[in-house]
Structure 1
């Protein structure tokens, strides 16, 4: 699909001013890559005059919400309370509590987005839809589910996603990296609707100028090299691998401090991660959640960023580290493979090659001139990747979707009744779609919630087993 911004530059499209946009996202409250990406787009659209309603799951602690937010109830996942599985709902109720949208944007569709897509398929005159595929659910299933459920989970998710993404109303499917494009093609998503859309970075907030000598002395009082890892504390984030890196570095007498920034609202998960580092406790500092200038200072005060997750569709933290003037060493899987310029802004290591990863960390940590050269190139790369450019591209694709829909429509949009239900048969189809959602809840989601934290030990066993497994990862 052609990029409409190539002819339009970086100017916000006036066509979107006053347009009713319903943006549904699975992650809005807690700080993570998906929520930061979505929040940036929401602010961009609202600041430029779009009439936007945000639909998101309720989560623990979200007592404050804006007038333009619509929260849907659901169940928080026991092993990750930041994520909520939305209860079955009727699309008519969503529209009646917001508006009949001109356009729908689904960020990382899952429990909320899948239900919307299923019901939108039943509408006679649906608004155009844009999807942003930011979370590879099948990769999580592959890592966290025990065999043979892992293969079944991957197949089931690919089948559901491929079916829903072929909905006629879907105009654009944004994807973050080449590995995800291959997955979407395998899932039989329509290739003519795929558009690569990366993520931006705030180069003012994340900057080498925020390097703080006193903070470094607090973390590394003996002049140790400061390594940093920023991510949500969860079993799929590669902590088993990172712990083994730290143990090898300590055994080789490398003078280092490892700063781990992030948290999890489930204390059992955090404790499980921290116990992995018991043998190198003197080398590791857990900061918990950081945001704003505290997060920026932590990035900029480090010498080297270690990225050990292999489930990232993009890896926003990698770009934030590069903007902070910190070179990155990452496992060559998923989004970071498209961001890092090997040997120029950082290094990519085969996902299971612990020996090479440790070797690179040791060599780069001990070579300040090499780190400086990498840091300068990393910052230059980040300067060309701003949120303004990314969000403007998304906005112009929205205009293209609206234009395409208006050309195909037999009925002018302004005369379509604001109510969703246009006929008895349309209402019947919607009822059946909601019934199917309830059925899927009964056979898949409810057992997961009932088992709760019983799932967590299995997830860790799966992660550890996968690390020891020598089979190549799914691309």
Structure 2
């Protein structure tokens, strides 16, 4: 529950507005963090034993050994079960929904074939892993009464693999937390992000530091625009490798940032860069847009559903650092264009309210799952 990510933030906002609407909710999850909370907004949290994969130690997984989750579900007796995928908890959740006679919603947040392509290095084995991922997805997800994809493009990809009953979980953003107002009296933050050069052009990346994010591609931007500075905010398995890779460049690794510090970091930047081709939605791009900072993103995955090219940001050809560089340079060279795109992005995010997204989830999509179960 303490894991910092876009999908974790989505669930917390969902819980907030379900609670506000009067629903009775409980959370069951693995988490062995020392600072794990016993509740969230007075919503009880039951922790079950878990484990960590050596390739992705930041997240704990579970198969509910000991059936603590099942026993709590029996006691709580919910009207509906909502489980996050991919993850090993999905299989027990399917079994529990059938044993207990409860509709099951599976929300899908990380596209497995993309990760298989990125993390399996041996060519023959890579194809087997991708094929297995494409086979297992409909095999598992079709046991649910409704699958929620995080973007229209991901919905199309899942349906092409044979998944049925797929809906899009509407996006949302807290436009008070991520707001251009945090760029007022912000010289100290900008100095920190630029390593003491606050007047230099500032590029910002926020997110998981992993191979699938293509962060290495940003080095070409720094080589071509030597006056620019790059701040990388986040943590992940490729952090040490990337620190070595970016050594000698104008790059500052900021580690994990949260709360007002993160809001100020976003609002301080001139351009947000996202070279990842694996985003199923891209909450960090939403956060940059809400902060009035135009994003330059790969035209791939869920990002093409977020950014209106040349209006709210710029899209570049995936895997083409030269095209990314050209889009970044254009924004850095034209302050008026940068401000206009930042304002257009901000206005776009004002339409994406978490309360409205949760209302659709609660009143339409959960009801659809109940109908499908019956």
Provide TM-score, normalisation by structure 1. Answer: 0.72
Q: Which residue of 1 aligns with 2:290?
A: 323
**What do the CA deviations read for 1:239-262 (whole angstroms, capped 9, x no partner)?**
221223323322xxxx21111111
Structure 1 residue 224 corresponds to structure 2 residue 197: no
Q: Superposition pairs for residues 190-205 of structure 1, below 5 Å? A: 190=164, 193-205=165-177
Q: Which residue of 1 aligns with 2:138?
A: 162
Give distance in 2, aligned partners of 1:375 and 1:398. Answer: 33
Across the aligned residues of Structure 1 and Structure 2, the Cα RMSD in angstroms comes to 2.1
For the 8 Å contact 1:128–1:401, the answer to whether it is kept is: no
Give distance in 1, aligned partners of 2:36 and 2:363. Answer: 34
Structure 1 residue 270 corresponds to structure 2 residue 239: yes
Give distance in 2, aligned partners of 1:219 and 1:357. Answer: 21
Q: Residue 175 of structure 1 is aligned with which of 143, 149, 157?
A: 149
Q: Superposition pairs for residues 330-349 of structure 1, below 5 Å? A: 330-349=297-316
Give, in angstroms, the shift of residue 88 of structure 1.
5.1
Q: Superposition pairs for residues 4-43 of structure 1, below 5 Å? A: 28-43=1-16
Q: Residue 323 of structure 2 is aligned with which of 345, 356, 362?
A: 356
Q: Which residue of 1 aligns with 2:70?
A: 95
Q: Which residue of 2 aligns with 1:135?
A: 110
Q: Which has the higher contact order (CA 8 A, sep 6+)?
A: 1
Greater gyration radius: 1
Q: Which residue of 1 aligns with 2:276?
A: 309
Q: 1:79 to 1:200 in 2, by over 3 A?
A: same
Q: Which residue of 1 aligns with 2:31?
A: 58
**Partner secondary structure for residue 131 of structure 1:** strand
Q: Residue 279 of structure 1 is aligned with which of 210, 234, 248?
A: 248
Give distance in 1, aligned partners of 2:363 and 2:26. Answer: 19
- Count of residues in Structure 1 that have an aligned counterpart in Structure 2: 364
Give, in angstroms, the shift of residue 63 of structure 1.
4.3
For the 8 Å contact 2:2–2:36, the answer to whether it is kept is: no
**Partner secondary structure for residue 278 of structure 1:** coil
Give distance in 2, aligned partners of 1:259 and 1:141. Answer: 28
Q: 1:184 to 1:277 in 2, by over 3 A?
A: same
Give distance in 2, aligned partners of 1:61 and 1:312. Answer: 30
**Partner secondary structure for residue 49 of structure 1:** coil
**What do the CA deviations read for 1:146-199 (whole angstroms, capped 9, x no partner)?**
2222222222122222012222xx332211223312321132111xx2212232
Give, in angstroms, the shift of residue 90 of structure 1.
6.4
Q: Superposition pairs for residues 61-460 of structure 1, below 5 Å? A: 61-66=34-39, 68-87=44-63, 89=65, 93-98=68-73, 99-117=76-94, 119-120=95-96, 123=99, 126-146=101-121, 147-167=123-143, 170-190=144-164, 193-211=165-183, 212-220=186-194, 221=197, 223-250=199-226, 255-264=227-236, 269-280=238-249, 283-401=250-368, 404=371, 408=374
Q: 1:96 to 1:115 in 2, by over 3 A?
A: closer
Q: 1:384 to 1:90 in 2, by over 3 A?
A: same
For the 8 Å contact 1:131–1:172, the answer to whether it is kept is: yes
Give, in angstroms, the shift of residue 122 of structure 1.
5.3
For the 8 Å contact 2:203–2:270, the answer to whether it is kept is: yes
**Partner secondary structure for residue 82 of structure 2:** strand
